[in-house]
Amino acid sequence: MTAAATPELTLMEGAAAIGEAAILAGCRFFAGYPMSPFTPLLEHLAEALPAAGGTCINCESEIEGVNMALGAASTGARAATGSCGQGIALMQEAIAEAALNETPMVVFNLARNQQDYFQATRGGGWGDYRTITLAPKDVPEAIEHTQLLFHLSDLHRAPTMLYGDPLLAQTRVGVRLEKLDFGPLPPKDWELDGTRGGTGQSRQVWTWAMGKATDPGPGPDLHWQNIAAKFAAINEIEQRSESAHCEDADTVVVAFGSAALFVEHVVAELRAEGHRVGWFRPITLWPFPGPALEEATRSARRVLVYELNGGQMIDDVRQYAHDRSAIRFIGGVSIHESGLSYGPLLDAPVIRERILAALPEGDPR
C-alpha cells in the first residue's frame, strides 16, 4: 500500500469512480457501446480518459469494442471494455480469444436486472479458459477491484472481469480514490511494437501459437494444454471471499455483489435478535472460493443461497458446501417493471422474511 497522504473523500457516482480507478491503474485504452447501466462508465471515460492521455472510443458494436481492446492490449497497453448482459454475450468470442492468445484486458460487466453469474463464470467462448471475476459489494470495493483486475490481467496474461450492477454503477457514494500497488509484474516481453520486423525475432500473438517457420512455437495442442494448466493454477491461488458470524452459525446465507451488502445488513439485525446466522460472500466468482465456503458452512444446518436469478451460484454452492442437504434457495428472478434494474426481491425486509421463513419454529433458541 502507498504511504502517500490519504486522498480526500469525494462524492461520486459508482461508474465514475470505477472509471477513475481504471485511470489510476494506468488504463490507456477503452472502447464501449452504450448499454444501461454500463453507459455512465463509457461516458465518464469518454471525457476523462483522453484528458489523462488515453483513448476512449464509442465503438459501433460490442464486438468491435472488445476486439479494439484486444488489439490495444496486444501492444502492451492496459486496455479495457465493458457492457452488460446481451453485450457481454456478444463479447464471448473475443474474451475466449484473449484467454487463448494470452492478452490481458479488463471487461467491466455492469449487469442490468439479474445476477448473471453463469455468464460471468462459465463464459460462452470456446476452449479451456476461465475468467477471473471480482464482484464488489460496494463502490469503495469496486475502486480496489478495478485496479486489482488490471494487475491480475497482466500477472496472468488473461482477460478478467469486474462484475457490477445498477446499484454499483448509479449509487453516489463518498469515496477515496487511492492508487494501489499490488506488487511487481513480469515484463511484457510478448508485446507487439513492430520493431522486430526482418530480424527473425518478430513476435506473434496467436491462439494457435505455431510460431514461425524458422522458430516454431508450441503449437495448438501443447499451448492449449498449457493454458488449461495455467487456469488450474490460478484456481488455487486467486480465490477471495469474506464471511462473518459463521463459526457458531447454524444458518449461513451465501450472496455476492450488491445482494451481499443487503444480506450483511439483515444478518447483523438477526444476530442482534439472537439468531445464530452468518453470511458468506464470494469475492471472486471465479475462482469460486470453494474451500472457504466448505469451512464457513461446517456447522451450518441451513445454507441459504440468496441471488437475484433463477439459481446460478447455487450450483457452485452445491459443489462445496459442507452438507449439500442443508442448501436452500431463497433468491429468485426479480426485475423492475422497466426491465432495467432489480425488482422487489432486493429489499432488506423481504430478505429478512425469507431468512426467517427458513429458520426452525421458535428460533432463536
Can you give the binding site for other proteins, defined by CB under 8 A? Answer: 28-29, 31, 55, 57, 59-61, 63-65, 67-77, 79, 93-94, 97, 101, 192-200, 202-208, 210-214
User: What's the closest the beta carbon of residue 219 comes to other proteins, in angstroms?
Assistant: 11
Output the nine-digit C-alpha cell for 74. 496486444
Nearer of residues 59 and 303 to other proteins, judged by Cβ: 59
User: What's the closest the beta carbon of residue 70 comes to other proteins, in angstroms?
Assistant: 6
Nearer of residues 207 and 341 to other proteins, judged by Cβ: 207
Nearer of residues 93 and 178 to other proteins, judged by Cβ: 93
Nearer of residues 62 and 238 to other proteins, judged by Cβ: 62
Q: Which amino acid, residue 209?
A: A
Contact yes or no for 153/28 (Cβ under 8 A): no
Contact yes or no for 290/316 (Cβ under 8 A): yes
User: What's the closest the beta carbon of residue 79 comes to other proteins, in angstroms?
Assistant: 7
Helix 92-100 / helix 62-74 crossing angle, nearest 10 deg? 20
Query: 3-state SS of 156-183?
Result: HCCEEEEEECHHHHHCEEEEECCCCCCC
User: What's the closest the beta carbon of residue 64 comes to other proteins, in angstroms?
Assistant: 4
User: What's the closest the beta carbon of residue 131 comes to other proteins, in angstroms?
Assistant: 17
Residue 273: which residues within 8 A CB-CB, separation 6 or more?
364
Q: Is the dihedral angle over the CA atoms 159, 165, 168, 172 positive or is it negative?
A: positive
Output the nine-digit C-alpha cell for 341. 434494474
Query: Distance between CA atoms of 83 and 112, rounded to whole angstroms?
Result: 10
Nearer of residues 69 and 110 to other proteins, judged by Cβ: 69
Of the candidates 74, 71, 66, the one whose C-alpha atom is nearest the C-alpha of residue 109 is: 66
Nearer of residues 52 and 326 to other proteins, judged by Cβ: 52
Backbone angles phi, psi at 69, to 5 degrees: -60, -40
Length of the chain: 365
Of the candidates 228, 262, 269, 232, the one whose C-alpha atom is nearest the C-alpha of residue 346 is: 262
Nearer of residues 102 and 316 to other proteins, judged by Cβ: 102
User: What's the closest the beta carbon of residue 303 comes to other proteins, in angstroms?
Assistant: 41
Nearer of residues 101 and 241 to other proteins, judged by Cβ: 101
Q: Is the dihedral angle over the CA atoms 151, 155, 158, 164 positive or is it negative?
A: negative
Q: Is 64 helix (H, G, I), strand (E, B) or coil?
A: helix
User: What's the closest the beta carbon of residue 26 comes to other proteins, in angstroms?
Assistant: 13
Output the nine-digit C-alpha cell for 126. 470456446
Query: Distance between CA atoms of 50 and 150, rounded to whole angstroms?
Result: 19
User: What's the closest the beta carbon of residue 94 comes to other proteins, in angstroms?
Assistant: 6
